[in-house]
Amino acid sequence: MSSFKPLVFSGVQPTGNLHLGNYLGAIKKFVALQETSECIYCVVDLHSLTAQLVHQDLAEQTRSITAAFLASGIDPMKHIVFNQSRVMQHAELAWIFNCVARIGWMNRMTQFKDKAGKDRENASLGLLAYPSLMAADILVYRATHVPVGEDQKQHLELTRDIAQKFNNDFSPRIADLGVGVEMRIGEETVHGFFPLTEPVIGGPAARIMSLRDGSKKMSKSDPSDLSRINLTDDADTISKKIRKAKTDPAALPSEADGLEGRPEAENLVGIYAGLADVTAEAVLKEFGGRQFSEFKPALADLAVEKLAPIAGEMRRISADQAYVDAVLRDGGERAGAKAEATMKTVREIIGLLGN
């Protein structure tokens, strides 16, 4: 019996300017994982329709996220970069997963509750089914690892639940066809067609908070531009936003325990640590006892040093639209071949006469 080959998949929605949270929580990890694994990175344009169907500039935003991937260091030749809607097998598998997942599972998703707000009856069905499409994005490649920010943890748990239910419901067919793969779950060894995907979450920057409110995550859709640092912000804008970031009057502590109950301080230390690739403890060792009036300029310098080259590369790559489109087309073809191989077996397992 074979075991799953390590494969990384992740996606970003083309719903606005990428910010430091997207970069530190997700894209920086995408870049690092390229060294050790085969990776597939996707601009999830179908997901972006769940919140807002009509986008004036969906195509432009899809290209812009692609440029951000490339500018950050993702290699589209060695790995795969494409936009989701090019590979229709994502939607096909999502439909099957809609029939595997239970409405109760979807109703419990905190992202659905947050995004639907009080008027749940009026939210799109797509918003409710979002995690099912996300599970399909991952499992259509039978991906084993998914780098994401902490906000996506619950969706990844649901992805595992969907995989496990599919594996259980169809276990006799999977065995008959001999398409099962061996997996360890705790002490047990089980066989299934879909892997139980592992999230890659963690480090000091797994959840970057708003610069204006340490209790809210940094988000593309926050109405205040001062709440986030966009990857395209220039040096002056980055410095201004960090200068204006909300803080408390106390000096920085020397130990991580001292950040408890100080969400804004904890956030700025986490950002510094994420950008410098060190732990929060190491940042506090250097800056413990210092005031924010000293720490903020150091953080601004570091942010500019790390982000300015990416912004410059993004501008250069974005100017060559034909190149960006060619990357997406080529990536879509390669992703499509892999996705179709999975779907052929899925259709056979279920008994759909589509092959």
Q: Is 241 tagged catalytic?
A: no
Q: Is 306 tagged catalytic?
A: no
- Nearest approach, Cβ of 148 to ligand AQP (angstroms)? 3
Q: Where are the alpha helices (DSSP H) in the chain?
A: 20-22, 28-33, 45-48, 58-72, 89-100, 103-107, 110-116, 125-139, 153-169, 171-177, 235-244, 263-276, 280-287, 292-318, 321-350
Q: In terms of CB distance, is 92 or 137 closer to ligand AQP?
A: 137
Q: Is 310 in the site for ligand AQP (CB under 6 A)?
A: no
Q: Is 220 tagged catalytic?
A: yes
- Within residues 132-171, the interface with ligand AQP by CB under 6 A covers 148-149, 151-152
- Whole-number Cα distances in Å, 145 to 81, 172, 212, 336: 16, 26, 33, 19
Active-site residue, from 28, 113, 153, 220: 220
Quick one: which of 25, 204, 214, 332 contacts ligand AQP (CB under 6 A)?
25
Nearest alpha carbon to residue 82 among 315, 281, 337 = 337
Q: Which two tokens stand for residue 325?
A: 């489109």
Stretch that binds ligand AQP, among 20-28, 91-99, 101-109, 124-132 (CB under 6 A): 20-28
Active-site residue, from 28, 217, 241, 338: 217
Q: Is 26 in the site for ligand AQP (CB under 6 A)?
A: yes
Stretch that binds ligand AQP, among 13-21, 183-191, 232-240, 311-319 (CB under 6 A): 13-21
Lateral strand order in the sheet of 7-12 = 80-83, 38-43, 7-12, 145-147, 198-200
Q: Is 3 in the site for ligand AQP (CB under 6 A)?
A: no
The residue length of the chain stands at 355
**Angstrom distance (rounded) from CA 19 to CA 216:** 14
- Nearest approach, Cβ of 231 to ligand AQP (angstroms)? 12
Q: Is 15 in the site for ligand AQP (CB under 6 A)?
A: yes
- Nearest approach, Cβ of 209 to ligand AQP (angstroms)? 7
Q: Which residue numbers are catalytic?
A: 115, 217, 220
